[in-house]
């Protein structure tokens, strides 16, 4: 290989490394608990949404899913770009991983602090129509 090929390869690799590191996402630690009425049993599906944009441009993007064996505490690390995270919890009685009619669910939106954590949150499950997204 000649020097020009080596130089071109080095430039391409440097650009690829630089572009790969340009993303604005960071790992955020999200802690909290899920509370529910005593009649709720079975797995709790936790879905974490990255919130980007504001107003009409506000977008929710599902970035992570976790499960709890029952209501209780959780601690997850999630890759996020926005300044807020939404945590949705579903008492998944039919084990399909999504909110279905009759299942209890709840959600909580939290701001991400400068140290890439959120204050501990509590998601309370209740009976309501499933969310659109």
Is residue 61 within 8 A of residue 72, CB to CB? The reply is no
Fold of 25-124: Immunoglobulin-like (2.60.40)
Report which of residues 38 and 74 the model is more confident about: 74
Is residue 86 within 8 A of residue 48, CB to CB? The reply is yes
pLDDT more than 90, % of the chain: 71
3-class SS of residue 67: strand
Res. 133: pLDDT tops 90: no
User: What is the model's pTM?
Assistant: 0.80
Segment (H or E) for 46: strand 44-52
Burial class (CB in 10 A: 0-12, 13-18, 19+), 128: exposed
- Nearest partner of 45 among 80, 70, 63, judged by Cα: 70
pLDDT classification of 77: cutoffs 50, 70, 90: very high
Distance CA 48, CA 55 (A): 20
pLDDT at 10: 43
Q: How far is CA 80 from CA 17, 53, 54, 85, 91, in A?
A: 20, 13, 16, 8, 24
CB atoms within 10 A of CB 25: 12
* Residue showing tokens 């690829």: 16
pLDDT more than 70, % of the chain: 82
Domain boundaries, given as residue ranges, for the chain? 25-124
């Amino acid at each position: 290989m000649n020097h020009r090929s080596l130089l071109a390869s080095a430039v391409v690799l440097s650009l690829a490394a630089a572009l790969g590191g340009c993303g604005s996402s960071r790992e955020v630690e999200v802690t909290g608990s899920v509370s529910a009425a005593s009649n709720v049993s079975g797995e709790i599906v936790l879905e974490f949404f990255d919130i980007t944009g504001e107003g009409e441009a506000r977008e929710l993007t599902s970035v992570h899913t976790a499960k709890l064996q029952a209501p209780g505490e959780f601690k997850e690390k999630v890759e996020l770009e926005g300044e807020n995270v939404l945590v949705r919890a579903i008492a998944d009685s039919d084990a399909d991983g999504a909110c279905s009619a009759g299942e209890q669910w709840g959600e909580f939106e939290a701001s991400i602090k400068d140290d890439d954590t959120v204050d501990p949150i509590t998601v309370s499950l209740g009976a309501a129509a499933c969310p659109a997204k």
